[in-house]
Structure 1
Amino acid sequence: MHHIIMGHHQDPHSQYMMEKFAQRGLSAHLFETHDFPKAVQFTFSPNNGEGYLILNDGSRLNFDEIKSVYWRNFCGVTDESTKKNFTTIDDISARDSMACLRTWFDLNNQTTWVNGWQAYQHHKEKPLQLFKVKNLGVNIPQTYVGNDLDEIRRCYSAFGKSIFKPVFGGAHTEMLTDAHLESTRVREALTKSPITVQEFIPGTNIRTYVIGDKVFSAELRSDSADFREDEDVELIVIDTPPAIAEQALKIARCLYLNWTAIDWRRDSQGNYYFLEANPSPMFIGFEKKSGIAISDHLIDFMEK
């Protein structure tokens, strides 16, 4: 049986996982989806559900011989579908190629995905993610999503201290200030993109990794609004409270995640507030600082 690492050839986490599989003597192959169909071949028969990939290293992997896929990055396909090239050969080629890959993603066969297409599509709708998690009975900060400036100002007043960030992601979190809302550019900016405004929870950052039924947590001490910007963040391994571990497992199942990193804020009373669950979190730094072998637990899950 074979394992696939799906990601960029130069991505550190993809390369790290390839090395880890090699150390165990397991068959693992790196697949950058952008190589399809230019340098990768795909075959599938709807009559019997059989098919295979021939990767650019010449390896032929039958779908029923792929034990697991570690989805680090999705790189699109060789051609791109855009507004400018709509109905052109490149557009049709991109759609045809994506239809093939999505067929493989959704076969629902013996392959274990960490994580699958559904999880990644779900992650794009972060407001829906928050709503679904809130309906599990999990605390979330007071949150507004949209581009109505009057409502944003109302929430800013009601929430007290607030942060703002993109709805989809791609930029770091910032503290919301009077200057932001008084800027002459604010209305113009909101005609370009909605934002997420969220109550700032005083306290500390907690990150919880979930791998199957295993749960690991650490406190990330930082004075920054977004700890990812802080090079001096202090990592302290903690025991996950049983109630939070149970919530983390429920969140993972609700969001179709076999593995994830959940970011929380913990206030001074010990209450946890869910911020987001990432379907492809970075972990090398966490692994080195914490001593928790996330990569080994991942491979154990993919191998079982």
Structure 2
Amino acid sequence: MAYIVIGQLHDEHALKILNKLKARNVDAYLLQTHDFPRKVKFSFSPNDGDGSLTLSCGTFINLSDIKAVFWRSFSGVSDEDTRATFMTEQGVAAKDSMACLRTWFYLKNGTKWINGWEAFQHHQEKPYQLQKIKNLGVKIPQTYVGNNLKDIKDIYKKLDQSIFKPVYGGAHTEMLTGSHLEAGRVEAALAKSPITVQEFILGTNIRTYVVGERVISIELKSELADFRVDDDAKLFVIDTPELIKDQAKKIAKELYLNWTAIDWRRDKSSEYYFLEANPSPMFIGFEKQSGISMSDYIVDYMLEH
């Protein structure tokens, strides 16, 4: 049996999981997806449903022999270029390569994915993610997604405090102010990209880690709208209320997540509001501050039969 970490050589999180696996005396390998197809070979037969990978190091692995995959990051494929169109030779090559990789991602073949393609697709469509979680009966903040300035102004007036952030992600959260909406450039900006406007919940940041059946929560104390940009943010391990533990597991299942960090805002009456569930959260900073080895929990889950 083999274990795969999808990530990059310079990523300390990918390397930590890889080295922890090797320390358990199992065959573990790093796969950088941008090595395919130049350095990595893929074979698949729809007739028998199995195939193989030959890694850049020369190791041959049957897909059905891959026990578990830890997906830290996806780095595209060798000939992928965002400027290439489908009709160019480079564009066609990239599409062909992605079709092969996605076939592997969807196959499963008894492989445990932490996490799989579906989880990452759900994370990219965050408005859909929020809608699905609300339908589970989980509280979410009042949220608007779009580029209609009138509607944005309406929700801004309706809410006591609000934040704005990209729909897809990739930038930090900021408090929304009237000056943002009065600036002459706002309509030009909205013509290029919609935004998410969301109710700012007065309270504190809670992050709940879920790996398999384990649920661990921390409180992150920060004065900023986005604790990720606060170098002075402090974390404290807290007890997870039974309702939140149950909701966290339901959220993970709904979003195809075997491993995740769920971000909440807890208001002053201890109500929890779901913000998002990350399919590939960082954990090294958490380990250093908490003393809890999340990486061992992840490896434990990968090795479970």
Regarding TM over 0.5, the answer is: yes
Partner of 1:201: 201
Partner of 1:217: 217
Query: Does residue 133 of structure 2 align to residue 133 of structure 1?
Result: yes
Partner of 2:98: 98
Note the alpha carbon deviations across 1:26-75, whole angstroms, 9 max, x for none.
Answer: 21100000000000011111111121101111111111110000000011
Partner of 2:122: 122
Contact 2:147 2:193 in 1 (8 A): yes
Partner of 1:227: 227
Aligned partners of 1:250, 1:44: CA distance in 2, in Å? 34
Under a length normalisation based on structure 2, what TM-score does the superposition of the two structures give? 0.98
Deviation at 1:159, TM superposition (A): 1.0
Aligned partners of 1:84, 1:206: CA distance in 2, in Å? 41
Q: 1:82 to 1:234 in 2, by over 3 A?
A: closer
Partner of 2:143: 143
Q: Which runs of 4+ in 1 moved over 2 A?
A: 81-86
Aligned partners of 1:170, 1:31: CA distance in 2, in Å? 24
Partner of 1:189: 189
Aligned partners of 2:290, 2:166: CA distance in 1, in Å? 30
Deviation at 1:81, TM superposition (A): 5.1
Contact 2:84 2:91 in 1 (8 A): no
User: Quick one: which amino acid aligns to residue 299 of structure 2?
Assistant: I
After superposition, the CA RMSD in angstroms is 0.9
Partner of 2:236: 236
Q: Which moved more, 1:35-44 or 1:73-82?
A: 73-82
Note the alpha carbon deviations across 1:91-145, whole angstroms, 9 max, x for none.
Answer: 1111111111011111131100000001111111000000010010101000000
Percent of residue pairs identical:
61
Partner of 1:43: 43
Partner of 2:169: 169
Deviation at 1:15, TM superposition (A): 1.0
Contact 2:86 2:95 in 1 (8 A): no
| Ranges in structure 2 where 5+ consecutive residues have no aligned partner | none
Deviation at 1:25, TM superposition (A): 1.7
Aligned partners of 1:288, 1:26: CA distance in 2, in Å? 26
Task: Give the secondary structure class of the aligned counterpart of 1:191.
Answer: helix
Task: Give the secondary structure class of the aligned counterpart of 2:108.
Answer: coil
| Ranges in structure 1 where 5+ consecutive residues have no aligned partner | none
Partner of 2:248: 248
User: Quick one: which amino acid aligns to residue 150 of structure 1?
Assistant: K
Under a length normalisation based on structure 1, what TM-score does the superposition of the two structures give? 0.98
Aligned partners of 1:192, 1:88: CA distance in 2, in Å? 26
The count of corresponding residues between Structure 1 and Structure 2 is 304
Partner of 1:15: 15
Note the alpha carbon deviations across 1:200-254, whole angstroms, 9 max, x for none.
Answer: 0000000000011110000000001100001111110000000000000000001
